[in-house]
Amino acid sequence: MKPDFSSLTPLLAPRSVAVIGASDDPTRIGGRPIAYMRAQGFRGAIFPVNPKRAEIQGLPAYPTIESLPETPDVAIVAVPAAGAVAMVEALGQRGVKGAIVFTAGFAEVDADGAAEQARMIAAARAHGMRLLGPNCLGLFNARIGFYPIFSSSFETGWPRPGRIGIASQSGAYGTHLFVVARNRGLGTPICVTTGNEGDVTLGDVIGWLAEDSETDVIAAYAEGIRAADGLIAALERARAARKPVVMMKVGRSALGQAAARSHTASIAGDDAVTEAVLAEFGVVRARSTEEMLDIAYAATKRIYPAGNTLGVITVSGGAGVLISDAAEQLGLAMPPMPAAAQAELRGLVPFAAPRNPVDCTAQVFNEISLVGRFAEAVVAEGGYASVLAFFSQTGGAASIAPKLRTQLGAGRARHPERLYALSVLAAPDLVAEYESDGFLVFEDPTRAVNAIHAMGRFGDAFARAPSPPPSAVPAIVLPAATPSESEAKRILAAAGIACVPEQVVSSSEAAATAAAAMGFPVVMKIVSPDILHKTEIGGVLVGIADAEAARAGYATLLARATAARPAARIEGVLVAKQVQGGVECLLGIHRDPVFGPIAAFGLGGIFVEVLKDVVFRRCPFGEDVAREMIGAIRGAALLRGARGRRPADIAALAQMLSRLSVFAAQAGERLRAVDLNPVFALPDGEGALAADAVLEIGEPDGHQL
């Protein structure tokens, strides 16, 4: 069932609010929300609830929830943990639609706290009430003067008007983002912090912002992901609405993941998987607050160029090199200007370097109209989707800036669909004037390049056509326990995954016969559901070249298995055709605790073990996505036919990867992992074959069988 993000409206945009545990002291947790809302003119009714006072901060106070003169849309719960659950129950009985629970001491503390939190959420859900928290700092919606929050950040200023929304699991960091944004002049009128996420999750908030007509850009901070289905639905909604999401997802390191769990009781999950899922929906991941706000700032222009290219105008050759380095590192294309346009620009300034970056030199400031002519050539002749101009302090000089604005503004007016950025050093009022002309302004040109690249990533995501649904595989019946290699291959073959020709034999003579029928050389392996990692006991023999070697190999494998694992169940010896001439690949599945089955693809051997050249994708997906995965690894050139080799059969490889993803999605929770390593990608037109297969089967609770 798709989530109903509109159910958050009573929480985020209410008409009335009760404050349970209200304080007359405007600096206390129960007092700050009242003081803030009164100062900022909240248009709805405010009902302080405190049995010890008749009046709080100039407002009538009420002793109990039952005594309120009307049912508020939302209530703030700011009482000790021992009484919080009872208050939530009373609010639900009164018919309140939302609760914002400041109270801490729940799942973020210990198992007893988690049990109390579960009771609280059950009470809210029994009455159809949405609950933010517990252990949350709150939120603000400055558009309506709604401040159910106890942060002290407003003592230094209020939110600026704008169209950037903040969603944060961390209260302190969410308000930190708001303050830094405010100090940079960015408008973030709404910020929601989710705390322990007992009910309302980060995904819910992103979904609500995606549907909010007054929000254009979503900035999110995450320590861990809960309710993956809800987050995915929210990101789909944002992409469909062409609303960019820039996310700072912390917990990349083992230490960071441990801190996230203790802080918000979240499941951090595997960072590489999270990265892949965010990229799937066009989310740009920021590495710092500065980068997040740079990207959010750039996104406010609402120009997201698909197939982004960058044209650069500079008065400094060194800055041009710096910008080019940054663009190349990001993969942002900077194609050269057309030859005719380069010749034209050299005619204007003979010592210019007009390739791209277009170094027009400081000479243009002697004849300012040359700036306009260079800029027009870059946009009209170069055809770049994005343009960055580096003028440094010259762009801030009072003697030059007005004329420069005129030249640049005229060009922008002729081509308003392009994304324009300036790197200038100027006073704040002049920066504001450049921005009012439609330009992004950065002091550091590398930060400008990063933001421009992010706009292209958003554009590519918004332009991407929906992937066709993958074809289903036949009904899957998993065995009761982890099977042997031969049984695993039988199951996979039924799902359309081709394997190397092979036969399981139970005697040395049968081994020789099977090997001769297949054609030498062959590979021989011990077959046992109790010996999954056969190489660890010497349970694999390669290069078996004749019948006598096959007979001897059979005896050797049985002896090694008996010596190493005397209790292991032995089903026989597998004789397989030894594949030659293909590219070794790894195809795998593992069940992520957050996002479910995740497919992995990479080249085999050293590329997996040392270079970690692997890409991931959430299952299931079609062959088009599988092709994208195959092309995304750093070693993809080996599959395309490097150094005169024939290209590999990428179509067959993509088909196998897609079918494996569908198999994993259909198999359910008992499928813990699949490891196909190696898979031989044969020359184009000859297919792809799995030479080894491991299926790990577990119980629904994750225990291995």
- pLDDT tens per residue across span 662-705: 999 999 999 999 999 999 999 999 999 999 999 999 976 544 54
Q: Is the C-alpha dihedral spanning 419, 425, 428, 430 positive or negative?
A: negative
Give alpha helix (H) positions in 199-312. Answer: 202-211, 228-240, 254-264, 271-280, 289-299
Q: Which two tokens stand for residue 527?
A: 């077959």
Q: For residue 168, what pLDDT is reported?
A: 98
Output the DSSP codes for 534-546.
GGGGT-EEEEE-S
Do 314 and 459 share a structural domain? yes
d(CA 96, CA 75): 7
Do 333 and 440 share a structural domain? yes
Query: Domain containing 372: what range?
Result: 310-463
pLDDT at 63 exceeding the cut of 80 = yes
- Give a yes or no: residue 329 inside a domain: yes
- Give a yes or no: residue 289 inside a domain: no
Last residue of a domain, one of 547, 577, 607: 577
- Give a yes or no: residue 669 inside a domain: yes
Do 451 and 317 share a structural domain? yes
CATH number of 74's domain:
3.40.50.720
State the total domains in the chain.
Answer: 4
Matching residue, tokens 């184009």: 684
Please give the average per-residue pLDDT across 423-433, as a whole number: 97
Do 565 and 602 share a structural domain? no
Do 589 and 573 share a structural domain? no
Sequence-ordered list of residues with C-beta below 8 angstroms from that of 138, at least 6 positions apart, any chain: 33, 76, 100, 102, 132, 147, 148, 149, 150, 151, 171, 193
pLDDT at 109 exceeding the cut of 60 = yes
**647 DSSP 8-state letter:** P
- pLDDT tens per residue across span 154-189: 999 999 999 999 999 999 999 999 999 999 999 999
d(CA 94, CA 97): 9
d(CA 545, CA 598): 39
d(CA 407, CA 394): 14
CATH number of 516's domain:
3.30.1490.20
Q: For residue 252, what pLDDT is reported?
A: 62
Last residue of a domain, one of 463, 485, 519: 463
Q: How many CB atoms lie under 10 A from the CB of residue 552?
A: 17
Do 456 and 340 share a structural domain? yes
- Give a yes or no: residue 567 inside a domain: yes
For 64, the 3-state DSSP assignment is: coil
d(CA 618, CA 611): 22
Q: Which two tokens stand for residue 55?
A: 């009046």
> By the 8 A CB rule, do 97 and 30 touch?
no
Whose CA is closest to 220, among 199, 241, 240, 243?
A: 243
Whose CA is closest to 597, among 217, 370, 276, 327?
A: 276
Q: Which two tokens stand for residue 654?
A: 């993509």
Please name the helix (run of DSSP H) or strand (run of DSSP E) that holds residue 198, with its range, or none: none
d(CA 549, CA 551): 5
- pLDDT tens per residue across span 364-399: 888 999 999 999 999 999 999 999 999 999 999 999
- Give a yes or no: residue 525 inside a domain: yes
Last residue of a domain, one of 463, 485, 511: 463
CATH number of 376's domain:
3.40.50.261
> By the 8 A CB rule, do 287 and 251 touch?
no
Matching residue, tokens 């005719």: 340
228-240 vs 202-211: helix crossing angle, rounded to 10: 20
Q: For residue 609, what pLDDT is reported?
A: 67
d(CA 598, CA 229): 14
Do 432 and 324 share a structural domain? yes
Instruction: Identify the weakest region by mean pLDDT among 110-124, 427-441, 568-582.
Output: 568-582
Q: What is the mean pLDDT of the chain?
A: 93
Please name the helix (run of DSSP H) or strand (run of DSSP E) that holds residue 119, with its range, or none: helix 111-126
> By the 8 A CB rule, do 2 and 233 touch?
yes
Do 520 and 375 share a structural domain? no
- pLDDT tens per residue across span 267-280: 445 788 999 999 99
**102 DSSP 8-state letter:** -
- Give a yes or no: residue 165 inside a domain: no
Do 107 and 48 share a structural domain? yes
Give alpha helix (H) positions in 537-667. Answer: 547-564, 606-609, 623-632, 636-640, 650-667
- Which pLDDT band, with edges at 50, 70 and 90, does 255 fall under? very low
pLDDT at 560 exceeding the cut of 90 = yes
Burial class (CB in 10 A: 0-12, 13-18, 19+), 701: exposed
Matching residue, tokens 């002291």: 25
Do 102 and 25 share a structural domain? yes
pLDDT at 319 exceeding the cut of 90 = yes
Cis peptide before 678 (omega within 30 of 0): yes
Whose CA is closest to 67, among 94, 96, 104?
A: 94
Q: For residue 701, what pLDDT is reported?
A: 55
> By the 8 A CB rule, do 271 and 252 touch?
yes
Do 128 and 2 share a structural domain? yes
d(CA 381, CA 336): 11
For 514, the 3-state DSSP assignment is: helix
- Give a yes or no: residue 142 inside a domain: no
Sequence-ordered list of residues with C-beta below 8 angstroms from that of 326, at least 6 positions apart, any chain: 445, 446, 449, 450
d(CA 606, CA 612): 8
Do 31 and 124 share a structural domain? yes
- Give a yes or no: residue 357 inside a domain: yes
> By the 8 A CB rule, do 470 and 657 touch?
no
What is the maximum span of the chain, computed from C-alpha positions, in angstroms? 99
